[in-house]
Structure 1
């Protein structure tokens, strides 16, 4: 899997930094956005074809974000049994690939929620990878600005307090063998490298969570590979299939090599 960072191929940088075409010509703007998407898709997926879909994966995103640094994204996969993984791509962000989520045997891939940063008006693509290895994408347009440079806190030290602390929220009621909702919250500033320290007026070096693995008992629920486009204090909402009396374990790591692990007691299921 490719993770895009500001140092990737020159042609892609040029296309992204060029920004949208003038508003006076919407068709030209759409063509520029499609050209950018094709460059990104070629980089991420090599020669694999990415087909548009309006049924295999759907993306729910605000048309105009209230906070560009905390934009809620919900992905739904109606044909969930076909889904192996999903990619969330924010086309005009400096690092477009926000996350690649791979579902394990304990997952119910029907829906996924993430909070992301959006740096400018942009298309957001959700790409579903099927178990047969085919790729299908849905797209939404989001109006937001400055999400990647928004400060994570009043100071770097304040933003890093409690780094690695986790919380897990489960649905109030669970039935054996039926999908249940869970929400994982991880405390981490997810520094992008574009944020200015409000005290020193220097740019804070990038440091962000790049890997999260959630397991239920001895089975994987999901694996998340992330980049700077995930928000400060990432929140991941997902579904899993409860059963038995197993613990849910989360292992997270960041780009500085720090690693955190925590287990959570899952509420008892009812028949």
Structure 2
């Protein structure tokens, strides 16, 4: 297992390398929504209390874990299951590499796990990483700046078939999905989707004139799953092993959370409606 030298501390680290290593504020927002101008290959890492950006030629390992004074990026600060120094990110050769030196595994989107002592290459893209603790998963956002392509003849518009960071939802779809996934958005330690009956009951209270039933709520969600299934696996019954249970809705919710299609601010839809 590779040893990690003690970081000087997040506040002091960038002083000698201000052009290569910089702090990211806590209120930056999700890295999934984009990046400031940066050299191709620049690593952006964001935890619960801010983060860092590091140029690929800085020769600077980014250490993350729960002990904020002893790491560069804090994650899982209040969870003793997360190691004080859980892992680090280094630029090796031509790519960034994740090394897990903690006890708990680190999950990539989907089901791929990086166990303690293991390493994994990071793609040049947005990659949410999750430290898998017993009560909840702790998010560490990572994004590597890509080379900006030259403008095309049509002005640089993206083709419709290119995957976007955020999925498009209609107002009704967003309302139903926020209701379905509210336990995830409210930081339930072991979240599960609401049942169709619970969704229908809550929507009926929020919007009594719309005559919500469990079948109508289910129909809205099933349509979203089918629409995303061409580019996201695990949303169709034939793609998951039995018993299916809540798996399909759980997989959909995780996709919407990982891509920041849904966020905590969407809970205002429920709160505003209930206040009327």
In the superposition, the TM-score normalised over structure 2's length comes to 0.27
Which of these two proteins has the greater Rg computed from alpha carbons?
2
- Structure (1/2) with the larger strand percentage: 1
Query: Which of 1 and 2 has higher RCO (CA within 8 Å, sep 6+)?
Result: 1
In the superposition, the TM-score normalised over structure 1's length comes to 0.27
